[in-house]
Amino acid sequence: MRKEKSCGAVVYTKESNLLKFLLIKMNQGHWSFPKGHMDSGETELETALREIKEETNLDCVIDTDFREVITYSPYPNVIKDVVFFVGETFSPKLKVQTEELSQAAFFTEEEAFNLITYQTDKAIFELAVQYLKVHNKEVQL
């Protein structure tokens, strides 16, 4: 069994004390969060920051106190861990990496939840939202 590891983040921005969440639509059609494979020698944080930048051209501040992992088998004989953090961007000007993505945009909590394709990603999103509700008392979701 081969092991793979990717890292990414549930990225948000604040608009008039309202949180908006970044979702990306992969060319294969599913909505998710920016994430990707770790390069040799990278930390989880470095991978998450690089992947967000490559896929959306956004710079983020990552909160590593939120760290959740999903594990699944994307292919036969492959087990993949995906580590998610939460990250805030202060300049939400998107530039989509068209080699992998067809769209990227910011959505309200309800809009994002309804768009996210996979149940595992919905579960990560719900955990991230709960975390932000506790740690960002000055904003509304």
Q: Is residue 140 part of a domain?
A: no
pLDDT of residue 76: 93
Q: Is residue 63 part of a domain?
A: yes
pLDDT of residue 95: 84
pLDDT of residue 117: 95
Q: Is residue 6 part of a domain?
A: yes
Looking from the CA of 25 toward its CB, the CA atoms found within 13 Å total: 9
pLDDT of residue 102: 83
Query: Residue 29 gets which letter from DSSP?
Result: S
Between CA 96 and CA 141 the distance in angstroms is 25
Q: Is residue 11 part of a domain?
A: yes
Q: Is residue 141 part of a domain?
A: no
Q: How many domains does the chain have?
A: 1
Between CA 138 and CA 60 the distance in angstroms is 19
CB count in 10 Å sphere of residue 61: 10
Q: Is residue 50 part of a domain?
A: yes
- pLDDT < 50 regions, the chain: none
Beta strands in the chain (DSSP E): 2-15, 18-26, 31-32, 35-37, 61-72, 78-88, 101-107
Q: Is residue 95 part of a domain?
A: yes
Domain of 71 in residue numbering reads as 2-135
pLDDT of residue 138: 54
pLDDT of residue 140: 54
**Please, which residues bridge with residue 2 across strands?**
78
CATH number, domain containing residue 120: 3.90.79.10
Between CA 76 and CA 5 the distance in angstroms is 16
Q: Is residue 41 part of a domain?
A: yes
